[in-house]
A and B are shown apart, each in its own frame.
Chain A
Amino acid sequence: MSQMFGWIGKILRVDIGTGKITTEETSKYVPEYIGGKGVATRIAWNELKPGTGPYEPDNMLMFMTGPFTGTLVPTSGRGSVCGISPRIYPSPWFTYGTMGGDWAAELKYAGFDAVIIKGNSPKLVYLWIHDGKAELRDADELAGLDTFVTQHHLKEKHGHQTQVVCIGPAGENRVLWSTIQHRLSNSIGDAGLGAVMGVKKLKAIAIRGTGGVRIAKPDEFIKICRKMAEMIKGGPTNYPHPTDLPYRSPVGPENQQCSHGCPLGCGSLHKNIPAGITVGSGTRNMMAHCEDYAFIYGEAATKYPTEDIKDIYHGDMYTRETKAFGERIGTELQALCEGLGLTSSFPINYYPWFWVCIENGITEIQGVKLKPDEPKFWFEFMKKVAYREDSFGEIFAQDMMRAVDQLELPSVVKKAAKFQFPMYGQPSHRQGRSYESQPSPLWINTMLHWIIDSRDPMACHHQSSFVAGWFPPHNEGKGGTPDSNMVKLKETYKKAFGTSGGMEPGFENIDDKTKLAVWQDNRAQIKDSLLLCDWVFPAILHTFPSRKDYLEAKEYYGDIDAEAKMLVHLTGLDINTDYIDKAGERIRNLDRAIHIRNYDRSREIDSSGEWYYEYPEKSDGTKLDMNIFNAILDSYYKHRSWDKTTGRPTRTKLEELGLKEVADELEKIEKLKR
């Protein structure tokens, strides 16, 4: 299989319980499942039996790359990690996360498309992968080290260019907020898989490789990569390009890309911050992105269109906002958070909730005074949680929903937690109710991703968000692009999909909206399997070389065939956009089948978050009721060919996707709609 193009051809299998290390051929799974999350989903269907819990040896941690990983494809540096997550509320299930950095490319250069970890080790170990070889090594000397020191230590030992993914003290202590961390600020966070790595007693994976990814048609591949890099160069945060920035300089030297092979720079660089942190290496550098800014600049709540909406939000629940502690303290807090191996969504979600507690007379929990406006409180809180210190640390080491279940609190405070974590114990994100506004029809679109996924899908699928970034109502006062033009945006969607119905506000054109959401979700599977950055692909929009070009453009259409065009020249296979779309559909349906077989996924579960959307969207006041929700879900299932009553795929659909044996197995356990 050494003759494969794009894929390396080997998957590394490590039974960390017995120490047995084997390999298997990647060709068992590709091109049908592409790579990344797609291949992981196939392996999960084959091997994760119903009833397997997140901490059991049979759970797997799957570190995945895709055919694009480690190549010239722009934004191809991300990797995906999949497994059963203890973080999912009310009960754990199979889910996924993606992160950037250099580890995924290095893994391919070391000779593997993926590493699948099974079993639980009796003692703390790390996995050392180098040029086709892999060995488990004792990690006693890494025990308790923060994520930066762990990386530093393994780089010292195995060479400076070694790439390391690891857990910090939080992961070792099975904290549900714990991350799998890499470099600065790259992590698998809300997927909750850091705790699984902790239970497996796998402190780190260190990777070094001198191989490469073979390209089938180098000349054509170079040309198409150059063209796509050009198309996206304005970067997701500047969609469409708002200023006259010179050619090839969409980002300034203060910006940092998160990943290998990325020509953009969404993160901001915080260099040489005089850190006063008391654990670990005291890193003085951070890369900040999105919620990492929480305590640096503070996050302000969005405006409300009318007083009554404001009343609802302030009377019934809270909205997310944090206090700015400034660059120095904010960065120190972020460094501590990531050093301990906690996700950044942890402080940003606890901050407003602690304020709800205080406003409702709860000023102290388990003997700890709540002082969310004091940095000291956060330094101590994070350490308590990471080390599970005292009953306070023990309780909050769980996710917020589980913590609240255990505490005696006024119902309004409990409701506030539920409002912040409306589905699967995942933080509300791009739903238009909590933190960000997401005016209609954007929240209807994001809702359709939320209700059928297994986690916060928006963290891995920002497709709708960068439209929202310059959508007129959203960008008001938020530094977006005031010239955004809805007419042109609709033209763009018309060009891409033959209709702009998916972008019409309100509940008209529901069929167009659900059809668009199905397409986006299929492409999200592809994007997590190839892998690509969710801020850029699929590229419905493109950027402009100058403001003038942008203003004069009739529409903003990018290229939704970009993935296929690049994959063809990379692999030499006869692959087109239809093939890509179908593969995405196959991955989604197989994931659905896992969730039906293992967790009784149903229409009822899909509808469990409906209550959230009965609250008005915070910037335009739009909302729905159960009737509208049901009409939307019916339409969505119709486009998926899923049964209306149960939400299960039909045999016809599964067979059409080459999943006959999946249909057979579901039928055997009476979970298939005939």
Chain B
Amino acid sequence: MPSTTTSVDVPKSGKIIHNPELCRGCKICELACSVYHEGICSAHLARIHVVPDDLALEFPAQICHQCQYPSCYYACPKKDKSMCIDSETGARYINKDECLRCGKCERACPFTPSLIWQREEDSKKIYYKCDLCRGRDGGPICVEFCPRNALTFVSREKSK
């Protein structure tokens, strides 16, 4: 068995864990996320997406896993300027002002759908993803607002 020591050169990140067993699809996380980041309440602009099956009463969600091997980060042509690592939480985040809008991070994300989202703004593509609400007192806002403890924030220290 090869060594499990990773050659990854970026620090570990904290992450948000969603428990579909406790979630009931109220989407308050999406609302809190989008108003905090964009000043708009919108499921589409949120960085967390609850995608319930209303008739089956199943409540999965999609949120960035802040991978230990962040493919998005490595794919970015402007690493540490555009796709960055937050020194506090380890969050992999996009610096909108520096973003080239090339979409390489979106395509590099190993998940389907990609957990880096895009939207059009003044006919430009804007890419956005969960940044663990970097700099916010009290940590990620979705976790704070979730009324059912379905979302948990695990700090980088405790993150496996």
Contact = CB atoms under 8 A, between A and B. Distances in A.
Contact of B55 (A71, A221, A251, A285): A285
Contacts of A265: 24, 148
Given A71-B31, A72-B31, A253-B21, A260 B26 contact: yes
Given A212-B34, A264-B147, A285 B57 contact: yes
A229 interface: yes
Given A256-B57, A271-B57, A248 B147 contact: yes
Given A160-B51, A285-B55, A211 B35 contact: no
Nearest to A212: B42
Contacts of B51: 160-161
Contacts of A105: 27, 43
A212 B35 CA distance: 10
A375 to B, nearest CB: 23
Contacts of A184: 54-55, 57
A214 B147 contact: no
A248 B149 contact: yes
Nearest to A164: B54
B55 A72 contact: no
Interface string B90-123: 0000000000000000000000000000010000
A269 B119 CA distance: 36
Nearest to A287: B57
A71 B30 CA distance: 10
A148 B55 CA distance: 8
Nearest to B57: A285
Given A222-B141, A260-B26, A285-B56, A210 B44 contact: yes
Select the residue from B21, B34, B42, B141 with max chain A CB neighbours within 10 A: B42
Contacts of B45: 212
Contacts of A319: none
Given A72-B28, A211-B42, A213-B42, A251 B148 contact: yes
Given A71-B35, A212-B45, A283-B55, A260 B147 contact: no
A214 B38 CA distance: 9
Interface string A633-669: 0000000000000000000000000000000000000
Contacts of A269: 24, 57
B55 A152 contact: yes
Nearest to A267: B24
A222 B36 contact: yes
B64 interface: no
A222 B54 CA distance: 27
A262 B31 CA distance: 11
A262 B146 CA distance: 10
Nearest to A250: B147
Given A183-B54, A212-B40, A256 B35 contact: no
Contacts of B145: 72, 226, 229, 263
B32 interface: yes
A265 B141 CA distance: 21
B40 A214 contact: yes
Interface in A213-251: 213-215, 218, 221-222, 226, 229, 233, 248-251
A148 B119 CA distance: 32
A-side interface mostly: loop
B157 interface: no
B41 A213 contact: yes
Interface string B117-151: 00100000000000000000000010011111100
A510 to B, nearest CB: 41
B149 A249 contact: yes
B70 to A, nearest CB: 27
A215 B43 CA distance: 14
Nearest to A163: B54
B35 A218 contact: yes
A250 B26 CA distance: 14
A469 interface: no
Size range of the interface on A?
A: 35 or more
Nearest to A251: B148
A253 B22 contact: yes
Given A184-B54, A256-B57, A215 B40 contact: yes
A233 B26 CA distance: 14
Contacts of B35: 71-72, 215, 218, 221-222
A271 B58 CA distance: 10
A261 interface: yes
B77 interface: no
Interface in A43-80: 70-72, 74, 77
A260 B27 contact: yes
A212 B44 contact: yes
Contacts of B22: 253
Contacts of B38: 212
A71 B40 CA distance: 8
A209 B43 CA distance: 9
Nearest to B34: A212
B31 A160 contact: no
A499 interface: no
Nearest to A281: B55
A456 interface: no
B40 A263 contact: no
A257 interface: yes
B44 A218 contact: no
Contact of B41 (A72, A249, A263, A287): A72
A345 interface: no
Interface in A264-279: 264-265, 269, 271
A563 B144 CA distance: 22
Interface in A138-164: 148, 151-152, 160-161
A77 B43 CA distance: 13
Contacts of A214: 39-40
A17 B62 CA distance: 42
A529 B144 CA distance: 28
Contacts of B149: 248-249
A591 interface: no
B53 interface: yes
Contacts of A285: 55-57
A555 B138 CA distance: 31
Nearest to A151: B55
A613 interface: no
Interface string A121-153: 000000000000000000000000000100110
A338 to B, nearest CB: 11
A467 B75 CA distance: 59
Given A161-B51, A250-B147, A285-B56, A262 B26 contact: yes
Interface in A177-220: 183-184, 209-215, 218
A109 interface: yes
A249 B148 CA distance: 6
Contacts of A271: 57
Given A71-B41, A249-B148, A283-B55, A263 B36 contact: no
A283 B27 CA distance: 23
Closest 10 CB pairs of A and B: A212-B42, A263-B147, A210-B44, A212-B40, A218-B39, A72-B31, A71-B41, A213-B41, A183-B54, A285-B57
Interface of B: 21-22, 24, 26-28, 31-32, 34-36, 38-45, 51, 53-57, 119, 141, 144-149
7 contacts: A72-B41, A151-B55, A184-B55, A226-B145, A262-B26, A263-B145, A287-B57
Given A261-B27, A271-B57, 10 more contacts: A70-B41, A105-B43, A212-B34, A212-B42, A214-B40, A218-B35, A248-B146, A262-B28, A263-B147, A283-B55
